[in-house]
Amino acid sequence: MKPIKAALCAAGLSAMVAIIGGWQMGSFAANGESKAEAVTDTKGNLHVPEAYRTTYEFLGTWAVAADQGQGSQELHVVYASPGTIAAYRKDGNFPDGTVLVKEVHFAATGQMTTGTVSHADNLRGWFVMMKDSSGRYPGNNTWGDGWGWSWFDAASPSTPSLKLPFPGGGVATSTDYRENCKACHQPAQATDWIYADGYPPLKR
């Protein structure tokens, strides 16, 4: 009887593992869709996700040097949707549905006990990107090359802006990611258009 019981236990355990594994894979696949629904409308227009500062994962910051004098003119703070870091560290890819939010702040520079220091000041706006492996919105010019791309002014987190600002001043009309976003990301094409080296949590 003991061998029979052992066999039955092993079979039951295998079935349980298979069920759990299938549920996890299904949940992971559905997660990409739930992220998409959380940051887009039915036409693929992105918006800044709510509560991202407390629910998203911190990736890193970028400092844009001042054209003149010391310090920075802008500081960029980047967040990723939950689960992004673990998934990327596993296979070096951003899962479908990954959402990246970059806050763009004007910087204030002054003297502190550690020396000349720049810190984030007024919020200028956000860049939002969403990984799209399935070509969800082929008729929307803000989607392509595996991502959705949009800029949002600080006063309008729900509506993509048609005016893309430059760090040193000036704006560009933003209606097509190929004209206004892709060129800046071209050097990072090999890492899925994202400057992954600037984000310590992604290092494997």
More confident residue, 63 or 6: 63
β-pair type (147-153, 143-144): antiparallel
Quote the CA–CA distance of 181 and 73 in Å, as a whole number.
Answer: 20
Q: Structural domain of residue 104, as residue ranges?
A: 2-202
pLDDT at 10 over 50: no
Q: Is residue 175 very low, low, confident or very high in pLDDT (cuts 50, 70, 90)?
A: confident
> What CATH number is associated with residue 166?
3.50.70.20
pLDDT at 3 over 50: no
The predicted model scores a pTM of 0.82
- Please tell me the least confidently modeled range out of 19-28, 93-102, 169-178: 19-28
Percentage of the chain beyond pLDDT 70 is 82
Residues in a beta bridge with 74? 64, 106
Quote the CA–CA distance of 155 and 145 in Å, as a whole number.
Answer: 28
Number of domains, the chain = 1
